[in-house]
Amino acid sequence: AAPDQMEMSLADCWGPAPASPIGFEGYEKRLEITFSDAPVFADPCGRGLRALSRHQIDSFLDLARCTIVSQLSNKQFDSYVLSESSLFVYSHKVVIKTCGTTKLLLSIPRILELAAELSLPLLSAKYSRGAFIFPGAQPAPHRSFSEEVSVLNGFFGGLKSGGNAYVMGDAFRPKKMWHVYYATEEPEQPMVTLEMCMTGLDAGKAAVFFKNSADGGCSSAKEMTKVSGISAIIPEMEICDFDFDPCGYSMNGVCGPAASTIHVTPEEGFSYASYEAMNFNPGSLVYSDLIKRVLSCFRPSDFSLAVTIFGGQGFAKSWAADAEVCSYLLEDVVEQELPGGGLLMYQSFSAVAPGAVSPRSTLDDGWSSDGMETAVQGEETCVWGVEKKVAEKGVAA
């Protein structure tokens, strides 16, 4: 079928998104599609996807059920804050994150059509998300990971690596599972991406993201950025921020080729915040320090980290190996090799009570009875020693 016919058939088949009677879904769906160079005669200026007009960009965002609310660009890429999360457009890469009940995968045929018009050959595709807070409210084609993988394989399964789907995390903690799909034609250029998902935000920290709240809210996005501490996470970032009524917050940060983004759903009972940094030089940031600065903005009860590394795993892998975050228990560590020499490292954490040690510990020499090292520093506890696992390849419903 022609791309426009496919768009209509997918949308018609899966219909409108159901409304959640419970709360807003904070967990984002993230899609990254990368292309190779166009022939010189087809793109003499090398603009690639950045040559797309606003109308063309809107044409695929409409299919995903989201709109642009703000924009910030530099010489390397264009960033857009969306009504539901963010969009980043590089010359050879597009990254879309959408939350709520958006239909992100429905945007794929239009993106591929626009890239083909620019003579950009498809190189790779990566899709990732956590476990939805309200999975029953998700519309097709996002009702299950297997459904998503089926759609992704229809577009990207023909790449040289074939489609590869992974479910990472502890099966006994289904709310902390990480879902990844990846397909590629050849090894990618060096790049590190950090995805961080946080739930159970501290009530005082969450209050900052309510407009004109008597409990410490702010009157503008700029004030939220400053008061929350977001502006200090990577101070070099130029920030484009946006606040929602009556609550909620989004921002994109740009610095050279590097991008960051934050999205906050502050409502009690389903509070959520996400942080992402990509295309940065890992030598310029200390991993643990970066994580701690993000955590200080939100103080979540639980959080996860997913670090994807392409183009050489040496220093980047050691950079992301240990978070060692005080006041949190490292519950799970999974490493998964990706086709083309990529690596994905996933970690999940839960808060521990101040001054607490392992409940099974009967030793006083700094080691618990199950082999976990605990280090008590004043009111904070650090717990290490979770055994690393390799993700099982497959598809879960």
pLDDT digits (tens, 9 = 90+) for 41-89: 788 788 999 999 999 999 999 999 999 999 999 999 999 999 988 999 9
Q: Which residues are annotated as a binding site for substrate?
A: 24, 84, 244, 267
Q: What pLDDT is recorded for position 139?
A: 84
- In angstroms, the CA 223 to CA 373 distance is 40
In this structure, what CATH number is given to the domain that contains residue 144?
3.60.90.10
> Domain for residue 326, yes or no?
yes
Q: Is pLDDT at 169 greater than 80 in this prediction?
A: yes
The more confidently predicted of residues 201 and 19 is 201
Is 92 in the active site?
no
Q: What pLDDT is recorded for position 275?
A: 97
Summarize the confidence of residues 206-217 as an average pLDDT: 80
Which of 263, 274, 304, 348 is the catalytic position?
263
Domain with 306, as residue range(s), is 29-352
CA torsion angle 273 278 283 289 (round to 10): 0
pLDDT band at 90 (very low <50, low <70, confident <90, very high): very high
Using a pLDDT cut of 90, give the percent of the chain over it. 57
Summarize the confidence of residues 196-200 as an average pLDDT: 94
Is 70 in the active site?
no
How many structural domains are present in the chain?
1
| Residues 87, 98 contacting (CB under 8 angstroms) | no
Weakest mean pLDDT among 36-40, 133-137, 199-203: 133-137
Summarize the confidence of residues 13-20 as an average pLDDT: 43
> Domain for residue 397, yes or no?
no
- In angstroms, the CA 291 to CA 163 distance is 31
Q: Mind listing the pLDDT tens digit for each residue in 301-348?
A: 999 999 999 876 565 566 666 667 888 998 889 999 999 889 999 999
Q: Is pLDDT at 364 greater than 60 in this prediction?
A: no
Q: Is pLDDT at 384 greater than 80 in this prediction?
A: no
Which of 59, 66, 92, 99 is the catalytic position?
99
> Domain for residue 23, yes or no?
no
| Residue carrying the six token digits 């639980």 | 302
> Domain for residue 66, yes or no?
yes
Q: What pLDDT is recorded for position 203?
A: 93
Spell out the alpha helix ranges (H) of the chain. 3-14, 54-64, 108-117, 145-156, 203-207, 221-228, 287-298, 314-319
Summarize the confidence of residues 134-140 as an average pLDDT: 82
Is 13 in the active site?
no
> Domain for residue 258, yes or no?
yes
> Domain for residue 10, yes or no?
no
Is 85 in the active site?
yes
DSSP β-bridge partners for residue 272: 199, 265
> Domain for residue 369, yes or no?
no
* Burial environment of residue 71 by CB neighbours within 10 A (0 to 12, 13 to 18, 19 or more): middle
Summarize the confidence of residues 126-146 as an average pLDDT: 88
The model's pTM is: 0.83
Q: What pLDDT is recorded for position 232?
A: 95
Q: What pLDDT is recorded for position 386?
A: 43
What is the SS3 assignment for 242? strand
The more confidently predicted of residues 114 and 354 is 114
Q: What pLDDT is recorded for position 171?
A: 81
Tokens of 75: 């010489």
> Domain for residue 14, yes or no?
no
Q: Is pLDDT at 379 greater than 50 in this prediction?
A: no
Q: Is pLDDT at 21 greater than 80 in this prediction?
A: no
- In angstroms, the CA 282 to CA 291 distance is 13
Which of 250, 260, 304, 348 is the catalytic position?
250
Q: Which residues are annotated as a binding site?
A: 24, 84, 244, 267
The terminus-to-terminus CA distance of the chain in angstroms comes to: 28
Which of 59, 66, 79, 85 is the catalytic position?
85
